[in-house]
Amino acid sequence: GGAARLVKTTLVGNNAEGNGGAIANYGRVDIHDSKLNNNHARHDGGAIFTAGVLQITDTRLGHNTAVGNGGAVANGQGRAKTGAQAQTQGKAGTVEIQQSTIEGNTADHNGGGVFTAGGFVKVSRVHIKENKACHSGGGVYAADTDLHLDHTTITKNHASLDGGAILNTGTTHTTTGRPDNHTDATTTITHSTITTNTAGRYGGAIFNGDTHQPTIDPGFHNKPPTNTTNATLTLRDTNTKNNTALNGGSIFNNKATTNLTTTTITNNTATDSSKTHRVAGGILNNNGTTETDHKTTITNNDPTNCAGTVKNCFN
């Protein structure tokens, strides 16, 4: 692929029958101080599809739409059926987004703001807000990805299914087809705020782990963690508040590992009225492992903080 550098550029109202409503990148693209608004892709990446190196700084990506994944940006997971690009489009590359805004984008499938099917993605000092996924990952959907978010605000995003703000998974049955115990999925969130996001099912702020027909076992007995880790989530110096889901108002950890350090989880809500299984407004740890340090606080979540599924989390 080639290389392009866009500075003080406006890309508005473009349409692609395939991937990348405004830009399809198979080499290197640098975007600075620009606007990508109201673009549309019939497949993935309403504004940008990338399978190479993508750097975005001081840029707004707003109100873009994708029929597939990634309302604003899709890193990998293209859908070309024939031709030389068919294999290239399936690969994910390296993405860095800094000091930018990703706002009001919509994906008919996963990743209302950003979708990534592998590779390395770093998001720093970015506002991710009011994006929508008609399936999962209202703000960000990360599958088999090394994802880092730092000093980022993720607010008022919505997923019809799981992960109102973020979904992190190593199980990609409908995407890359990797096995359940694949552990390339790591999301690290530092010095960030995740607030007022909603999910129709699990994980108002974050869904971490196996997405393949997640179910909550009936009853209230304690179960040992599973031996396999589908995905790893780490939160440090981060605040999640006022998020809402059917269960796991803040975090739903499913057959995965979650580590919390100096993190606050408060005033999140689960709306499930079931009396046959556990319901947690804070964290619902479902057949996984969740560890907290002594500086992490999980308080004032409704109807319970962790429903007895997390050690040292009191209801």
Per-residue confidence in pLDDT tens, the chain, 315 aa: 799 999 999 999 999 999 999 999 999 999 999 999 999 999 999 999 999 999 999 999 999 999 999 999 999 985 444 444 433 346 899 999 999 999 999 999 999 999 999 999 999 999 999 999 999 999 999 999 999 999 999 999 999 999 999 999 996 444 444 444 445 799 999 999 999 999 999 999 999 999 987 888 776 656 666 666 889 999 999 999 999 999 999 999 999 999 999 999 999 999 999 877 899 999 999 999 999 999 999 999 999 999 999 999 987
Read off the amino acid at residue 202. Y
pLDDT at 229: 80
* Burial status of residue 20 (CB atoms within 10 A of its CB: 0-12, 13-18, 19 or more): buried
Cis peptide bond N-terminal to 214, omega within 30 = no
Distance CA 110, CA 140 (A): 8
Distances in whole angstroms, Cα of residue 253 to Cα of each of 193, 232, 247, 249, 250: 19, 10, 11, 11, 10
> Three-state SS for 160?
coil
Query: Contact, 277 vs 251, CB < 8 A?
Result: no
pLDDT at 222: 61
* Nearest alpha-carbon partner for 283 in 294, 274, 272, 270: 270
Query: Contact, 211 vs 171, CB < 8 A?
Result: yes
pLDDT at 191: 98
Sign of CA dihedral 58, 66, 50, 194: positive
Cα 268–164–312 angle (5° rounding)? 40
